[in-house]
């Protein structure tokens, strides 16, 4: 049985991906800060409480995990976004975005990469469609996601000869709690947003390819582009 490590597993896209891998027969080690509202009835789901903003916590997490299990798939999904004029986003918020959206995936990947090479594993990075374009009032957030996308591309070229797959998924606006504290949200029409399950289905499709074929990047968009101000 293969093992998956997923960050941001307590809600939204990360939770949907966790459930999808369980349905696919994998054991899932889900990382998050609070699992009190997570309802997964599976003996193959193992919650790990960790604040990924501090890289020292990530090192401790991996050190303990390696004593128990070998990871075949790493899914870097945890993220946070703050939006508005750049001068109004505090250094604390900037640090949190950089640490969680960019630093944590880089550190986790580095700590697990030798093992992933041995097992010809997979790294899946959940970036954002904002990584591909100018993002007014979200320039810092989009910069972290663009950095993650660029990291994925470079890492794949670096490790592809070892059998490791590196994949980026770039969702557009998704109906999740991500927007709860923001001043905008998805539109009311179902065609104006994607669901976390849409991203999870895209992840599943990655493992339906013949051996030797890698889908390295997936962009997922709603049919209509509608953003509502709160």
Tens of pLDDT, residue by residue over 46-73, are 999 999 999 999 999 999 999 999 999 9
Confidence band for 162, pLDDT divided at 50, 70 and 90: very high
- CA gap 96, 91 in Å, rounded: 9
Lowest mean pLDDT among 39-48, 148-157, 184-193: 184-193
Q: Please give the average per-residue pLDDT across 88-112, as a whole number.
A: 98
- Torsion, Cα of 95, 97, 103, 104 (10° steps): 120
So what's the pLDDT on residue 43?
96
Report which secondary-structure segment, H or E, holds 149: helix 139-159
Nearest to 32 by CA among 102, 90, 79: 79
Which is the CATH superfamily of the domain at 3-172+195-220? NAD(P)-binding Rossmann-like Domain (3.40.50.720)
Output 163 or 189, whichever has higher pLDDT.
163
* Mean pLDDT, residues 1-14 taken together: 96
Quote the DSSP letter at residue 90: -
Q: What sign has the CA pseudo-torsion 15, 17, 21, 27?
A: negative
pLDDT in tens, 181-206: 777 777 888 999 999 999 999 999 99
Identify the band that residue 178 occupies on the pLDDT scale cut at 50, 70 and 90. Answer: confident
Give 110's pLDDT tier (boundaries 50, 70, 90): very high
Residue 230 has pLDDT above 80, yes or no: no
What average pLDDT does this structure show over 133-144? 94
Q: What is the pLDDT of residue 6?
A: 98
**Residues 160-180, mean pLDDT to the nearest whole number:** 92
The reported pLDDT for the residue numbered 102 is 98
pLDDT value of position 176: 84
Ordered by start, the domain boundaries in the chain are 3-172+195-220
CA dist list (Å): 161 to 32, 68, 117, 164: 32, 28, 10, 8
pLDDT score, position 225:
86
* Mean pLDDT (the chain, rounded): 95
Please state, for a pLDDT cut of 70, what percent of the chain lies above it. 100
pLDDT, mean of residues 32-53: 94
How far is the C-alpha of 205 from the C-alpha of 107, rounded, in Å?
26
């Amino acid at each position: 049985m293969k093992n998956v490590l997923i960050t941001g597993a307590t809600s939204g896209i990360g939770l949907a991906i966790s459930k999808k891998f369980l349905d696919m027969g994998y054991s899932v080690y889900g990382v998050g800060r609070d699992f009190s509202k997570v309802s997964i009835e599976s003996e193959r789901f193992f919650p790990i409480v960790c604040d990924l903003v501090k890289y020292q916590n990530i090192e401790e997490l991996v050190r303990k995990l390696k004593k128990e299990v070998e990871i075949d798939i790493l899914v870097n999904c945890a993220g946070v976004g703050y939006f508005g004029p750049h001068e109004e986003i505090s250094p604390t918020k900037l640090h949190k975005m950089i640490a969680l959206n960019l630093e944590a995936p880089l550190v986790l990947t580095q700590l697990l990469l030798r093992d992933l090479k041995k097992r010809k594993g997979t790294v899946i990075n959940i970036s954002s469609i904002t990584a591909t374009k100018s993002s007014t009032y979200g320039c810092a957030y989009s910069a972290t996601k663009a950095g993650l996308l660029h990291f994925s591309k470079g890492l794949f070229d670096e490790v592809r000869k070892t059998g490791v797959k590196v994949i980026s998924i770039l969702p557009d606006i998704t109906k999740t709690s991500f927007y709860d504290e923001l001043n905008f949200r998805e539109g009311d029409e179902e065609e104006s947003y994607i669901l976390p399950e849409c991203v999870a289905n895209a992840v599943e499709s990655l493992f339906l390819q013949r051996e030797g074929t890698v889908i390295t990047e997936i962009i997922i968009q709603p049919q209509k582009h509608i953003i509502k101000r709160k």
